[in-house]
A = this chain, B = another copy of it.
Amino acid sequence: MLGVSLIPIRSGSSSASGSGAERSDAARNRELLLCAARQLVEECGADGVTMDKLAERAGVGKGTVFRRFGSRAGLMMTLLSDAEAEFQGRFMFGPPPLGPGAPPLERLIAFGAERIRYVMEYGELARAAETSLHNRFEAPAAVLWHRHIEHLLRSAGFDADPWLMAMSLSATLEPERLLHAVRVQHVSPGRLEDSWRELVIRVVGAAGG
């Protein structure tokens, strides 16, 4: 059942953090920063956003930016959190074939297809959110995808180390690789989806159940 509450990603605007609420100036600055960040992403692209530019645009000090988001990757995760949460909701609770109800193989195929579309839309942000060795595999979102794929593999009767196989399948769907394939090597997203389907069919198809 995957005892995971939805969206462990990052707080967008909620408070209620144990002891006291957030100070008002902090809240105001966070809004200023998020607003400025979205502007900058639109103007310069995700890769063109620097923490200095962001601080200046928002009219706050650089230290404030890092206290809010911890790192550049953290900022990018925050910017992604809405889209990410929506995606998570769809594959965990949404309608088939992505959500529960469809056979595991169908869900795996749909998961890859949706993920590819997601990367085509938010890939730059997602890639920027994955810098810093630490967050790349341990980020809540990445862990959740991994578990989801592993779960689907098990459900499909895959009995040989589903954990590692989920790792391999995740690797195929990494933003960096997908973006490079599409933007540099001119592979169409449709072709990516076809190859993903072929891959998962073969991986689970040969299984016992």
> Of residues 160 to 209 in A, which have CB atoms within 8 Å of B's CB atoms?
160-161, 164-165, 167-168, 171-172, 174, 176-177, 180-181, 184, 187, 191-192, 194-195, 198-199, 201-203, 205-206
A93 contacts the other chain (CB 8 A): no
- Interface size bracket, A side: 20 to 34
Q: Would B136 and A164 count as touching, CB distance under 8 A?
A: no
Minimum CB–CB distance from A183 to chain B (whole Å) comes to 11
A137 contacts the other chain (CB 8 A): yes
Q: Given the interface contacts A202-B206, A206-B206, does A195 sit within 8 Å of B136 by beta carbon?
A: no
Identify which of A133, A171, A203 gathers the most chain B CB atoms within 10 Å of its CB: A171
Q: Would B194 and A161 count as touching, CB distance under 8 A?
A: yes
Q: Would B164 and A195 count as touching, CB distance under 8 A?
A: yes
Q: Would A199 and B165 count as touching, CB distance under 8 A?
A: yes
The complex places the Cα of A184 from the Cα of B167 at a distance, in Å, of 14
Minimum CB–CB distance from A197 to chain B (whole Å) comes to 9
Minimum CB–CB distance from A131 to chain B (whole Å) comes to 10
- Return the chain B residue nearest A172 by Cβ: B168
Beyond contacts A167-B177, A202-B206: 5 other A-B pairs, Cβ-Cβ < 8 A, are: A161-B198, A164-B181, A164-B195, A168-B199, A201-B206
20 chain-A/chain-B pairs, Cβ below 8 angstroms = A133-B180, A137-B180, A137-B184, A160-B194, A161-B191, A161-B194, A161-B195, A167-B177, A167-B181, A167-B195, A168-B199, A171-B172, A171-B174, A171-B177, A172-B172, A202-B202, A202-B205, A203-B203, A205-B206, A206-B206
